Structure 1
Amino acid sequence: MSQECMAPRAPLPPVGRNFAVAVGDEILYGDAPELVVVSFYRFADFPDHAAFRLPLKELCEELRVSGGIILAPEGINGSICGTPVAVDKILNFIQEDGRLKGLRMIQSPVTPEDEAIHHGHTSHSPVGAGEDAPFRWDHVRVKLKKEIVTFGDPGVMPTKIVGKYVKPKDWNDLISDPDTVIIDVRNMYEIRIGKFKKAVDPRTNSFREFPTWVDDQFQLVQSGTLGSGGDDNGTGEPSADLNASKSKQLPRVAMYCTGGIRCEKASSFLLGKGFKEVYHLEGGILKYLEEIPKAESLWEGECFVFDKRVSVGHGLAQGTHKLCYGCKQPVSDEDMLSPHWEYGVSCPHCFATKSEEEKERARARQRQFETFGVIGGPHMGKSPRGSAANNAVEFIQLPKSV
């Protein structure tokens, strides 16, 4: 695995963002420094990962860095928000351990809502997005898990073997080759709002299902059957035939995911299954959208992200999708016109799967948040920790009990 270190970040220019926060009958004003969001991961042999949790969490709290970090025997995965200086200190601290040196990182713009949540003030529901992404910006979480990205096969070791990285600038040529099978290793709900042209959708609900999908396809290929060709893959186009060009031969595969971590693990799995040519997009979709101009892009739609932004487009601009807090899936403006859409409760994608009891619990949770500003009542809240910032003033109503 190649070693990559983040180049020193130039200081961001002052953005002049400020907040007016209503506490009871008083309005409090304040300023806050500019912020940055950095997502990062590193596969490594890290059996003593648990000992790293407390010092890392304490440093994040001391530097007022928020977000989420996962530690596991196979490495580290995280997304954090803070001032550039503070974030750099955290990343440098992590990489002081030689096993974690060369973090793969993506820096993203900070939206006003990200900034508001980081500083403890938000008008949106605080429910996090994604089972493996505790990346809510109102505090830091450092979790211990078995894997930094859940795959379910302990025999897959990206530290030992991994596919070939492809730079965003070279990606279009690779996936435009008719002999290349493009596989999106993300989940169905992510692919629903955006994908690369002609990409195969494995129709998985979680990354854990990907090995089973590959095994099924591998058996079809070995028997000389036409993979999943001819079936609708959920994108409105026939699924790609994994053995269209060379009978009983495994094809050249190009894989991609949001930031690179899932396809790095999936590439290791495919190589272990006998695939010879396995490529994956370095930095994932996010790096591609950041570097490739829209006019040259083969990306269609928006990219779902596991944080408060929900989705991003070219240039990592804020997307148009919102989050259904009932199922934690992205919803479009069209979805929100459906009679099955109820804010904080359900959307067209989960309405039929929820009982009336579950919906009523969700309504009660939403009423708590709207009344107290936090789920569980005023005793669960945190006192304001300063404010965040733009020339326009954002007004946020907090209850009198705060």
Structure 2
Amino acid sequence: MPTLLITKTISSSRTAAVIPKMLSSSTRNLNPKSLMAAISDKTLIPNPSHFPNPRPLSQIATQHLQASASRSINGVRSVSSRSSPVEISVTGEIEGSGSTLVVVSFYKFADFPDHAEMRKPLKDLCEQARVSGGIILAPEGINGSICGTRESVEKVLEFIQADERLKGLRLVESPVTPEEEAIHHGHTSHSPLGAGEDAPFRWDHVRVKLKKEIVSFGDPSVMPTEKVGKYVHPKDWNALISDPDTMVIDVRNSYETRIGKFKGAVDPLTAAFREFPSWVDDEFELAESNQQSDTEVEELSASVKEETENGGPKKLPRVAMYCTGGIRCEKASSFLLSKGFEEVYHLQGGILKYLEEVPKKESLWEGECFVFDKRVSVDHGLIQGSFKLCYGCKQPISDEDMEYPEYEHGVTCPYCFSTKSEEEKERARARQRQFESWGVIGGPDKGRRNPGRTQNASNQKEEKEISKSI
């Protein structure tokens, strides 16, 4: 059953019915069998222009905080380590404690030229509601992953979707427990990614950034709002990629594919997503300036291109692509369609949805999936994986990698040791010493000394004074 996210109206004129709607495999149609939930009913989210006197976004954010203070959610619902459907009562209210932690990833491609105006009120709302994570605003839309209590996260999503252009966010929700968040790497008050004793969230801060793209691709002509590939549900993915006529492409970066990918997938070995267009042009010889002779065309792999009997145009393969959560495939599939590919498919909900829904015994996934938070990697069932993070290069490392002489905690690993100068390594060592001495406080208290460390120092001072008096 797909996860539902129910958003409440804040309209004071009337109480709107809460209607869950499911986002379809197309950006234009609704289908109850879709993976990801979205709120698209116009009665649920107020448009700021509907008010008699349009107000600044900062005032709307303040109203969201005030409204949340007056509401309560009855009952307590336990959650497991993997994503599960949100229980809905007969009254349309979410059944669960307001303190239940959830992680929501979302994105929406839209025409959003005034995106910068949302940054400050959105960041203020997240900080006051103690919602951590990262959000990118760009002229082409919004992309983010946030963590916090269910009520706080809903407040942020309501505020975002108050903008008519951002309604219908593509959402993937993962309920979590505080115990799961207290992972041993990167989540203590004495580690580089520590969040402080009172913030058991997946990230130790919230960042709202302004960028040119919500996912860096480097080709402004690619428009996912106009055309994208066909979505494939996780349960149908195995059949598609098992077909010998299907070319499976992993559109992630090499440090991600290194720890896991689908069986038989082609790895472009890109260091950044912006390199993908060049890889496609080179792999399929599609660059306009690249004129091949008949001999050169015949030498290409039959799995990539074929010549017709009369020397006609080349035939491009059927492509099935995938990424972590789906957003990179939106641009990658749109790009391939613009290059003349006719059959382009991509995994709906990405690897994460596949690992959540497909049993391990039926899975064609090999290894673990890198994620951009403190879990570092996840396995089937979205259980936290075995990889750690090198704080020098932000790449995943295994226990075996940590046995190499090039590994130095908080400084380097076998993958970045040779690329770091001695000056960079020394700065990293100094930073690591600071973390070990004082820890890190995140959220609204970022930059403040760790209270636990300060208390320990005070106790040690008292003990010394007592010993002297004795």
TM-score band, normalised by the shorter chain?
0.7 to 0.9
- SS of 1:380's partner is coil
CA contact (8 A) 1:49 1:71 kept: yes
Matched residues in 2 for 1:113 and 1:5: separation?
A: 24
What residue number does 2:304 align with? 242
- 1:2-401 equivalent positions in 2, closer than 5 A: 2=28, 5-6=37-38, 13=77, 33-110=99-176, 112=179, 114=181, 122-126=189-193, 137-219=203-285, 223-224=296-297, 241-243=303-305, 248-374=314-440, 380-381=447-448, 400=456
CA contact under 8 A between 1:37 and 1:80: conserved in structure 2? yes
Structure with the bigger RCO (C-alpha within 8 Å, sep 6+) is 1
1:351 Cα deviation (Å)? 1.1
Q: Which residue of 2 aligns with 1:26?
A: none
SS at match of 2:345: strand
Structure 1 153/127 Cα, relative in aligned 2: closer, same or farther at 3 Å?
A: farther
* Cα deviation code 1:180-223 (max 9, x no counterpart): 00000000010000000000000100001001000112217975
TM-score normalized by the length of structure 2? 0.69
**Quick one: distance in 1 between partners of 2:397 and 2:205?**
25
Letter in 2 for 1:324: C
Q: Which runs of 5+ in 1 are unaligned?
A: 16-31, 129-134, 230-239, 385-395
Offset, 1:141:
1.0
> Which residue identity lines up with residue 224 of structure 1 in the other structure?
V
Please tell me the residue identity of whatever aligns with 1:243: K
Q: Are the equivalent residues in 2 in contact too, given 1:373–1:399 (CA < 8 A)?
A: no
Quote the offset at 1:268 in angstroms: 0.6
| Contact 1:104/1:283, CA 8 A, preserved across alignment | no
Find the aligned partners of 1:11 and 1:226 in 2 and give their Cα distance. 67
Shift of 1:243: 3.2
Secondary structure in 1 aligned to 2:247? strand
Residues 44-83 of structure 1, C-alpha deviations (whole Å, 9 max, x = no match): 1111111111221122122211111000011111010101
Q: Is the 8 A contact 1:65 1:87 kept in 2?
A: yes
Contact 1:5 1:101 in 2 (8 A): no
Residues 116 and 127 from structure 1, CA distance in 2 versus in 1: closer, same or farther, beyond 3 angstroms?
A: closer
CA distance in 1, matches of 2:400, 2:282: 35
Which residue of structure 1 aligns with residue 57 of structure 2? none
Q: Does the aligned pair in 2 maintain the 1:302–1:319 contact within 8 Å? A: yes
Shift of 1:354: 1.3
- Alpha carbon RMSD of aligned pairs, Å? 3.2
Q: Secondary structure at the match of 1:181?
A: strand
Aligned residues of 1:179 and 1:245 also touching (Cα < 8 A): no
Does the 8 Å CA contact 1:68/1:136 hold for their aligned counterparts?
no
2:37 match: secondary structure? coil
Structure 1 residues 323 and 276, CA gap change in structure 2 (3 angstroms)? same
User: 1:34 deviation in Å?
Assistant: 2.9
TM-score (norm 1): 0.80
The residue identity in structure 2 corresponding to 1:262 is R
Q: Which moved more, 1:155-164 or 1:59-68?
A: 59-68
Whole-Å Cα distance in 1 between the matches of residues 202 and 428 of structure 2?
19
Structure 2's unaligned 5+ residue stretches are: 1-26, 31-35, 45-72, 80-97, 196-200, 459-470
Do the aligned partners of residues 116 and 182 (structure 1) sit closer, same or farther apart at CA in structure 2, a change above 3 Å counting? closer
How far apart are 1:326 and its partner, in Å? 0.8
**Contact 2:249-2:321 within 8 A present in 1 as well:** yes
Q: Secondary structure at the match of 1:224?
A: helix
Partner SS for 2:228: coil
Please report how far the alpha carbon of residue 122 of structure 1 lies from its aligned counterpart in structure 2 after TM superposition: 3.4
Cα displacement (A) at 1:127: 9.1
Q: 1:270–1:136: structure 2 CA closer, same or farther, 3 Å change rule?
A: same
Contact 2:356 2:380 in 1 (8 A): yes
Rounded to whole Å, the distance in 2 between the matches of 1:346 and 1:331 is: 11
* CA distance in 2: counterparts of 1:245 and 1:316, whole angstroms: 44
- Provide, for residues 132-172 of structure 1, a one-character-per-residue CA deviation record: whole Å limited to 9, x for no partner: xxx97222111110000111111111011111111111111
Q: Residue 217 of structure 2: SS of its match in structure 1?
A: coil
Give the Cα separation in 1 of the matches to 2:383 and 2:263: 20
Answer whether contact 2:284 2:305 (CA < 8 A) is retained.
no
Q: Percent identity?
A: 68
Looking at structure 2, the residues matched to 245 and 309 of structure 1 have their Cα atoms a distance apart, in angstroms, of 47
Over 3 Å counting, the alpha-carbon distance change for 1:11 and 1:158 in structure 2 is farther
1:309 alignment partner, SS class: coil
Identify, as 1 or 2, the structure richer in strand.
1
Partner in structure 1 of residue 467 of structure 2: none
